Amino acid sequence: MVLFALRRLGFSIFTLLVVSFAVYVIFAILPFDPAALTCGQKCNDIVVEANRIRLGYDKPLLVQYWLFLSGIFFGRSYGVGQAAFVCPAPSLGYSFNENACVTDLLKTTLPITVTLAVGALIMWMVVGVTLGVIAAKFRGRTPDTASSVFVLLGTSLPTFVTGLVLLIWVSIKWKIVPLTLTGYVSFLDNPFGAFKYFLLPWITLAIAYAALYTRFTRAAVLETMSEDYVRTARAKGLDERKILFKHTLRAVFAPIVTLAGLDFAGLIGGAIITETIFNLPGLGRLTLRSVYEFDLSVVVATTILAAGVVIVMNLLVDMFYAVLDPRVRVQ
C-alpha cells in the first residue's frame, strides 16, 4: 500500500509540473502583450517597458517559467530599488488590475468556493445515494417512480434556472431564507449567518448533482444485487440489511467515490454560474472577471490551481479506491 501511494504521488507531481508548464506556455504565446495589459489606455511605452522588466516578461520563456515555479516555493520580488515589491511564497504572480499579489486574491476567494463545494458535495451525496438505494430497493414501485421524477427534473433544469427560482421564491417571495445578495459572511465570524448565506447555493448545486447520483446509484445497486456473491449471501440466510450495507454498498461506493472526487474538483475550479447568481465572491467569479479584464496573471494562476485540484483529488480517489477495493493495489 505504501509503495502504491508513493508511486501515485510521484506520478501526480510529474503530471502537475507538465500541466503547469503547458498552461504557462499557452498563455505566454497568446497574441497579446502582457505588459501592455498591466495599465490603462493612457499608458505610454515607457511605463509598458518598465512593467515588462518588472514582471520579468523581457526574459526568455523558460526563464519566466522557472521564476514562476521558484516563486511558489521561495517567493518572488518584482522590480528594483524603491519601486520593488515582494510577493511572499507561495507566489503565483502579481495582478496590476487588482494591485495585489495573486496569492492574496486566492486566499480571499478560495475558501468561499471550497465552502460552496464541500456543502454541495455533502448534500448531493446524502440525497443522491439515499434516493438511489431506495429506488433500487423498491424497483418498479412508488419510491422508484418518485425518484425518476426527481432525476428528470434535476437533470433538465440548468443551475441558473434552479438558482433564480430559489432566489426569487424562497428569499424574495416567501422570505424563508434571507436574501444572500447582501454580502458574504464567514463561518468563523457568524456560523449561523454563513449557513443561511450558503444554503440556497448549496441546494442549487446539490439538486443537479443529486439527480445524477440517484440514477447512477440505482443502476449500480441493481447491478451489484444481481451478482453471484450477493445471491449466495442471500441463500445463506444473511439479513437483507447486512447484505445491503456490507456487500452491496461496499462495491457500489468505489465508482461513486471516483465520480464524486472529479465533480468536487470541478466545483473547486469554479462554480461560476452559481457564484454569480448568489453574489458569492469566489474563485469562479474571480476567474471570470480576470478573463474580461485580460488579467493574465490571475487567469494563469486559477487555471493551474484548478488543474492541481483535479490532480490532487484523483490522487485521493486512488488512495480511497485502494482501501475500498484491495484489487487495485500495486504490490
Q: Cα separations (Å) of 278 from 117, 119, 163, 180?
A: 14, 15, 8, 6
Query: Given a cut of 60, is residue 40 above it in pLDDT?
Result: yes
Q: Which long-range contacts (CB under 8 A, 24 or more apart) does 234-243 make?
A: none
The H-assigned helical ranges of the chain are 2-28, 45-55, 61-74, 102-137, 142-156, 159-165, 191-225, 228-235, 240-242, 249-268, 272-277, 283-292, 296-324
CB contact at 8 A, 299 and 91: no
Band of the pLDDT at 205, cuts 50, 70, 90? very high
CATH number of the domain enclosing 240: 1.10.3720.10
Q: Strand, coil or helix: what is 119?
A: helix
Query: Given a cut of 80, is residue 181 above it in pLDDT?
Result: no
pLDDT tens for 63-122 read 989 998 999 999 988 877 666 788 998 899 888 888 889 999 999 899 889 999 999 999
Give me the pLDDT at residue 325, please: 65
pLDDT tens for 300-318 read 898 888 888 888 888 888 7
The CA-to-CA distance between both ends of the chain, in Å, stands at 7
Domain end (from 80, 102, 124): 102
- What b/e sequence results for 238-261 when a residue is b if at least 16 CB atoms lie within 10 Å of its CB, and e otherwise? eeeeebbeebbbebbbbebbbebb
Query: Cell numbers at residue 28, please?
Result: 505566454
Give me the pLDDT at residue 179, please: 66
Whether residues 114 and 160 share a domain: the answer is yes
Domain end (from 102, 126, 149): 102
- Domain span holding position 220: 105-328
Query: Given a cut of 80, is residue 331 above it in pLDDT?
Result: no
Give me the pLDDT at residue 160, please: 87
Q: What are phi and psi of 183, to 5 degrees?
A: 140, 155
Whether residues 246 and 184 share a domain: the answer is yes
pLDDT tens for 121-165 read 999 999 999 999 999 989 989 999 999 999 999 989 888 899 889
Name the percent of the chain lying above pLDDT 90: 21
Neighbours of 123 (CB within 10 A): 18
Query: Given a cut of 70, is residue 257 above it in pLDDT?
Result: yes
Q: Mean per-residue pLDDT for 208-221?
A: 93
CB contact at 8 A, 55 and 38: yes
Whether residues 113 and 76 share a domain: the answer is no
Q: How far apart are CA 64 and CA 55, in angstroms?
A: 9
Domain end (from 102, 117, 147): 102
Whether residues 53 and 129 share a domain: the answer is no
Whether residues 163 and 277 share a domain: the answer is yes
**More confident of the two residues 190 and 156:** 156
Query: Given a cut of 70, is residue 22 above it in pLDDT?
Result: yes
Closest CA to 102 of 81, 71, 59, 74: 71
pLDDT tens for 222-255 read 988 888 888 888 888 888 788 888 778 878 888 8
Whether residues 93 and 165 share a domain: the answer is no
Whether residues 94 and 162 share a domain: the answer is no
Q: Which residues are registered as beta bridge partners of 101?
A: 94
100 torsion bin: left (phi>0), alpha (psi -120 to 50), beta (else):
beta
For the chain, give the mean pLDDT. 84
Tally of domains within the chain: 2
